[in-house]
């Protein structure tokens, strides 16, 4: 009688298969993970290989190849849902695979830039969260929220803090606006409230001033100087004559405010109405809030913008008019260059 012994190749294959099965079984154990939460993006039409590589890079899994084997053995390596997921590192393979297949843990990452106004924020949120615009419009006018934040105007303009937010799937408009205004409260410091008495401003006044600074400043180091100019003008009973407030009154951005624009009938038109406007005109970032709270100690009362982003500051009208003439020449030169470039491009 002859006995058939398995070949060395078969033994190696059997051993490798058993080892792989053991690894898959071990890797599948565990729940949602105990490590820190990380964002993982699965692109549209991504393969399981691409998804596994992204998961491994983020530290959610350690062995992308074994994860693919596990998904294949469960016949669930197809039809994964694209999007950005918030998952914990060292999560179990079963949990991660169920998330990819069912869209569990899907989040929406939304960045609100500094200086954005509600008319820009609302459509951005509507597109990213998939919520109706009218629900956002209702959320920013929520009277309970306005009362809680002590906002005297009709919306939360200026109090939606500019930042990057991670919203879970199915976040409502009211929840999103609540999270963003809560971030404003988180950033606002108790010492800032005490500082308001020194400046003789309410918090709404301060946020309003900071929003104007945010729209004016192009160079970070100029923020405290710009804030000082407006505070000096307020102190001396001068009109603020802030172009961004006219743009806000117009309801649209214009490259340059024209003389005809200055005639718009609005309480936000600081060329016509003394003092600060009724409320903020945009969402100021922390730097602009701090600039308004701690302005530079300078005597300037005027400034004018130049094409390179810097401003020239002056203490009197005669000096300001000379700076304005110089700025106009600079802007005209830029316009000539742009027209020449446009002609050459054709």
The answer to whether residues 99 and 175 belong to one domain is: no
- DSSP 8-state code for residue 79: -
- What's the pLDDT at 140? 97
Indicate whether 157 and 173 sit together in one domain: yes
pLDDT value of residue 113:
97
Q: What are phi and psi of 28, to 5 degrees?
A: -75, -15
Same domain (yes/no): 76, 38: yes
Q: What share of the chain is helix, strand, coil (3-state, %, to 5)?
A: 55, 10, 40
**Domain boundary residue among 164, 187, 210?**
187
Same domain, 202 and 293: yes
Are 229 and 154 in a shared domain? no
CATH number of the domain enclosing 93: 3.30.1490.480
Q: Which of 65, 76, 81 is nearest to 27 (CA)?
A: 65
Residue 176 structural domain = 113-187
Backbone phi and psi for residue 152, each to the nearest 5 degrees, phi listed first: -80, -10
What stretches in the chain show pLDDT beneath 70?
1-34, 336-346
Residue whose C-alpha is closest to residue 273's, from 281, 265, 285: 265
Q: Which residue has the tokens 């830039």?
A: 113
Give the predicted TM-score (pTM) of the model. 0.79
| Residue 4 DSSP symbol | P
Instruction: Out of 187, 210, 244, pick the residue that ends a domain.
Output: 187
Q: How many residues does the chain have?
A: 346
pLDDT, tens digit (0-9, with 9 covering 90-100), for 209-238: 999 999 999 999 999 999 999 999 999 999
Do residue 216 and residue 279 come from a single domain? Answer: yes
* Residues 65, 85 share a domain: yes
**98 and 142 belong to one structural domain:** no
Task: Give the CA radius of gyration of the chain.
Answer: 29
Count of domains observed in the chain: 3
H or E stretch at 64 = helix 64-73
Residue 72 and residue 94 in one domain: yes
Q: What is the pLDDT of residue 342?
A: 53
- How far apart, in whole angstroms, are the C-alpha atoms of residue 300 and residue 23? 71
């Amino acid at each position: 009688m002859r006995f058939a012994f398995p070949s060395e190749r078969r033994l190696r294959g059997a051993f490798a298969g058993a080892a792989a099965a053991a690894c898959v079984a071990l890797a599948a154990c565990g729940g949602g993970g105990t490590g820190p939460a990380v964002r993982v993006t699965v692109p549209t039409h991504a393969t399981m290989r691409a998804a596994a590589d992204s998961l491994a890079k983020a530290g959610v899994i350690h062995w992308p190849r074994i994860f693919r084997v596990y998904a294949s053995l469960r016949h669930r390596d197809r039809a994964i849902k694209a999007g950005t997921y918030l998952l914990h590192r060292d999560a179990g393979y079963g949990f991660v695979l169920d998330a990819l297949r069912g869209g569990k843990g899907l989040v929406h990452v939304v960045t609100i830039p500094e200086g954005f106004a509600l008319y820009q924020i609302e459509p951005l949120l509507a597109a990213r969260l998939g919520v109706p615009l009218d629900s956002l419009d209702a959320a920013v006018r929520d009277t309970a929220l306005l009362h809680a934040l002590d906002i005297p105007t009709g919306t939360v303009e200026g109090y939606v803090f500019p930042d990057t937010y991670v919203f879970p799937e199915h976040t409502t408009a009211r929840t999103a606006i609540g999270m963003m205004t809560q971030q404003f409260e988180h950033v606002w410091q108790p010492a800032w409230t005490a500082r308001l008495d020194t400046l003789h401003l309410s918090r709404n006044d301060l946020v309003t001033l900071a929003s104007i600074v945010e729209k004016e400043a192009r160079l970070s180091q100029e923020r405290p100087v710009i804030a000082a100019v407006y505070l000096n003008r307020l102190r001396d009973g001068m009109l603020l004559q802030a172009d961004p407030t006219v743009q806000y009154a117009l309801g649209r951005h214009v490259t340059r405010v024209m003389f005809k624009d200055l005639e718009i009938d609005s309480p936000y038109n600081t060329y016509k109405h003394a003092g600060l406007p009724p409320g903020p005109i945009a969402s100021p970032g922390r730097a602009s809030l701090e600039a308004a709270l701690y302005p530079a100690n300078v005597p300037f009362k005027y400034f004018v913008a130049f094409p390179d982003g810097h401003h020239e500051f002056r203490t009197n009208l005669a000096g300001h008019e000379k700076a304005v003439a110089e700025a106009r020449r600079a802007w005209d030169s830029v316009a000539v260059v742009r027209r020449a470039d446009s002609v050459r491009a054709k």
